[in-house]
Amino acid sequence: MKRNILITGGAGFIGSHVVRLFVNKYPDYHIVNLDKLTYAGNLANLKEIEDRPNYTFVRADIVDFEVMRRIMDEHEIDGIIHLAAESHVDRSIKDPFTFARTNVMGTLSLLQAAKEYWETLPEKYEGKRFYHISTDEVYGALELTNPKGIESPFTTAASSEHHHAYGTVFFLETTKYNPHSPYSASKASSDHFVRAYHDTYGMPTIVTNCSNNYGPYQFPEKLIPLFINNIRHRKPLPVYGKGENVRDWLYVEDHARAIDLIFHKGIIAETYNIGGFNEWKNIDIIKVIIKTVDRLLGNPEGYSDELITYVTDRLGHDMRYAIDSRKLQRELGWEPSLQFEEGIERTVRWYLDHQDWMDNITSGDYERYYEDMYKNR
Ligand SMILES: NC(=O)c1ccc[n+]([C@@H]2O[C@H](COP(=O)([O-])OP(=O)(O)OC[C@H]3O[C@@H](n4cnc5c(N)ncnc54)[C@H](O)[C@@H]3O)[C@@H](O)[C@H]2O)c1
């Protein structure tokens, strides 16, 4: 079936994986990638598909309602996968307004543009889809009730030996929203608007809340690429607090596969949690990264351990996130495919093999940003 799909934020980390997957997998679809190209957007992420006949790139700001409305018309959009957002918690603490602008007003502008366009069509919402990508951070923080880790109650084909849980409570789709950072508050607000457009106007919406992603093409302000890059340059590795905070990690291509499945098979108005069943303390993940980078660079074991530098904790730092994504497993048959150890090995190799990509984005403004954010804390 021919479809015209608008993917927002497609030049960012997760978005570029979703765009690549859709352009390659669905030659009959026309994929319109709309991105403002903020510091986080990088067209080099999409070199491989930029000349494909089923792909168009549009540089625009989702907050600009008139432009969104025109693009809906011009490309006869019948499906939207909305990833464009400001996505870094540390930046949201410094500049919450930008987060409210893009994440809240931008999502609202996109919803209204889709509503107005789809309502002009004879079939209206029939066959349409507005799929909003959100985060597990909207649920708030879980406690670290088992600091040493207990056997996880969940296993998948991709479960690793590590496979611990650091508490007995997990986020469900029904968990009450309780965001703590300006980032998660702005994402929570956008999720509410999306659901309100379904409940009020009958818009065919879906929301998914995913845990931390890792993999190629992630901007090196986020933990895993930041640390790989710093080890390479023998720079300090800034660890917040004691490094005890726990996150649930998912390989980005597994998230993209889930998005593909949910976009096509998900039930309208439903929410699906997406997670890796893969909890790690930050300090443990850092040790795995150091070990892997040192091994791949031919350094002696333990060579980069001395780079670990404990810094003042992030304000309001959530202790633990852990997703229960069994609904998605049960109802649509999705599972993470990659074991964490394999995913990390692949990720480290990718960054070490793509040093030009890293050097390009870490030149210029990045250095100033880095100093401001992590040094002298
Ligand atoms: N990275 C994660 O671990 C994770 C986990 C769960 C959910 N999410 C969500 O997934 C989405 C993508 O995350 P990511 O990590 O790829 O983010 P990212 O920061 O790497 O990319 C965001 C993209 O959005 C674009 N963008 C920002 N503001 C825009 C605007 N006003 N108009 C148009 N484009 C704009 C940027 O240029 C960039 O290309 C976000 O909505 C985020 O909340 C991310």
Looking at domain 3-374, its CATH architecture is: 3-Layer(aba) Sandwich (3.40)
Can you spell out the DSSP letters for 127-188?
T-EEEEEEEGGGG--B--S-TT-EE-S---TT--SS-EESSS--B-TTSPP---SHHHHHHH
pLDDT of 185 > 70? The answer is yes
Confidence class for position 374, pLDDT limits 50, 70, 90: low
Q: Tell the residue nearest (CA) to atom 42 of ligand 1.
A: 87
87 lines ligand 1 (CB under 6 A): yes
pLDDT in tens, 304-341: 999 999 998 889 899 999 999 999 999 999 999 999 99
Domain ranges (residues) in the chain: 3-374
pTM for this entry: 0.96
Least confident of 138-152, 157-171, 257-271, 294-308: 157-171
What sign does the dihedral 12-139-268-189 (CA atoms) show? negative
pLDDT in tens, 86-108: 999 999 999 999 999 999 999 99
Q: How far is it, in rounded angstroms, from Cα 103 to Cα 95?
A: 13
Given strand 279-281, what is the order of strands in its sheet? 150-151, 164-165, 279-281, 246-251, 212-214
Which pLDDT value is given to residue 368? 66
Can you spell out the DSSP letters for 245-304?
-EEEEEEHHHHHHHHHHHHHHPPTT-EEEE--S-EEEHHHHHHHHHHHHHHHHTPPTTTT
Highest mean pLDDT: which range of 147-156, 193-202, 219-228: 193-202
> Crossing angle of helices 223-232/340-353, nearest 10°?
50
207 lines ligand 1 (CB under 6 A): no
- From residue 302, alpha-carbon distances to 235, 342, 348 in Å are 15, 20, 17
Instruction: Report the nearest atom of ligand 1 relative to the CA of 84.
Output: 24
pLDDT in tens, 116-142: 999 999 999 999 999 999 999 999 999
Mean pLDDT of 291-308: 96
Which pLDDT value is given to residue 370? 66
250 lines ligand 1 (CB under 6 A): no
Which pLDDT value is given to residue 96? 98
| Residue 28 CB burial class (10 angstroms; 0-12, 13-18, ≥19) | exposed
Instruction: Report the nearest atom of ligand 1 relative to the CA of 101.
Output: 31
Mean pLDDT of 239-261: 96
